[in-house]
Structures are given as C-alpha cells and as structure tokens.
Amino acid sequence: MDKKIILTLVSLLAVALIIVAVVMVAGSGGVLSKSGGFTALMNDMTYDGDLTYQQYLECPSSWTPGDSKTVRDVIVDMRTERERVGVDTWFYTTDLWFVYVGDKWNDPDHGTLFYVPDNIGDDWLVVSHGQFMVTVTTATNLAEKYDVGDSITLQTALVTNDNGLVAFGTWTVKDTL
C-alpha cells in the first residue's frame, strides 16, 4: 500500500512540474505567448471599415509624426546581407521576421491578412498569416549578436507616408550602430 501512495505522489509531482514549465514558457514570450511587442502595437491600430480580412489599418488619431515607438519581440527568422562601402567599411542589411499572434485582425474563415502603414516601398507593411518582415540596416552584423528565438528591441519614429497617412518610419535596432 505504501508503494502505491509514493507512486501516486511522484506522479502528481511530475504533473505539477510539467504545468509549471508550460506556464513559465508561456509567460516568458515562448511559443504559447499571446502577445509580443509587435502584436501589442498592431492591436493599437484602428480600422473603420466592414472587412474582416485584408484590412488597411491606420494609426490611432493620438499618434503623430515624430512620435517614437519601441517594441521588443522574438525573431522567428532572419537573413543578413553584407555590402562594402568604401575600402574597409561594411554595412549590413538584415531582414527580421516576426509573427502577429493576436486575434483582433484575424478572420476565422480566411486567416490573418492586413496592411499596416509604413514609408517603405508601396507604403504598406503586409502581415500575411501573421507573418511579416522588418528590414534594418546597421554598421554591425546583427547575426553575430542575435539568432532565431532571441528577443530584439526595435524603434522607429512615426512619419507621414506618400499616402498621407501617419506611418511607421525606418526601424532601427535600439542601442546598436
């Protein structure tokens, strides 16, 4: 009888440890986390139309050009290219992929596809099935400091894009040249 009680207690302890581990991963920005920095930022965006898919979002009316926005989020993929400038100088262009994991802009029948105003290319950052890319240019190789799964802090200043919308400007890595 004593062996059954001990076995039951050990089993309960193992289950409790697994639950604690899952909660810690979810709370630390792991796979089960519901909100990274970009998710929270995009959830602040507005949309006045009737569409539930392929919405063109806008910055809230309280945001103005020159305002600074800072996010910390987890890198889900990255690619760095190096280019020579002059004889001994290099600069690095890094594409950083992130994931929007909120449900505010999700259509259960189609998935997540929306557009966020920026000042790059056609003036829209495309968030497709939750995935999107931000490109940063630095004097240092980000691949030497960051890897997939790492958190990174980015910042931008709001600007007015060619469409006349308040939009995200060029993103930079905080505290990096």
Note the pLDDT tens digit of each residue in 29-57.
Answer: 454 444 689 999 999 999 999 999 999 99
Residue 120: is its pLDDT beyond 90? no
Q: How many helices (H) and strands (E) does the chain have?
A: 2, 11
pLDDT band at 126 (very low <50, low <70, confident <90, very high): very high
Dump strand ranges (E) for the chain. Answer: 55-56, 68-74, 77-85, 89-99, 106-107, 111-117, 124-128, 131-138, 151-160, 166-168, 172-173
How many separate domains does the chain show? 2
Cα angle value 144/126/112 (rounded, 5°): 110
Same domain, 98 and 22: no
Closest CA to 153 of 128, 134, 166: 134
Same domain, 130 and 72: yes
pLDDT for res 2? 76
pLDDT for res 87? 87
Residue 27: is its pLDDT beyond 90? no
Q: What's the pTM value of the predicted model, to 2 decimals?
A: 0.78
- Domain of residue 18, residue span: 1-33
pLDDT for res 147? 95
Same domain, 154 and 124: yes
Same domain, 58 and 145: yes
Same domain, 25 and 38: no
Q: Is 158 in contact with 114 (CB distance < 8 Å)?
A: no
Cα Dmax for the chain: 80
Q: 137: number of CA atoms within 13 Å, CB side?
A: 6
Same domain, 71 and 16: no
Same domain, 14 and 88: no
Instruction: Report strand pairing: 55-56 vs 111-117.
Output: parallel
pLDDT for res 32? 41
pLDDT band at 59 (very low <50, low <70, confident <90, very high): very high
Same domain, 44 and 116: yes
Percent of the chain clearing pLDDT 90 (strictly above) = 71
Same domain, 12 and 77: no
pLDDT for res 105? 95
Same domain, 169 and 121: yes
Please give the residue that has the higher pLDDT: either 177 or 159: 159
Residue 127: is its pLDDT beyond 70? yes
Tokens of 125: 């950052």
Query: Stretch 132-159: mean pLDDT, rounded?
Result: 95
Tokens of 46: 């507005």
pLDDT for res 17? 55
| Cα dihedral 140, 143, 148, 150 sign | negative
In this structure, what CATH number is given to the domain that contains residue 42?
Answer: 2.40.50
pLDDT for res 31? 46
pLDDT in tens, 164-174: 999 999 999 98
Residue 23: is its pLDDT beyond 70? no
Same domain, 57 and 118: yes
Same domain, 28 and 41: no
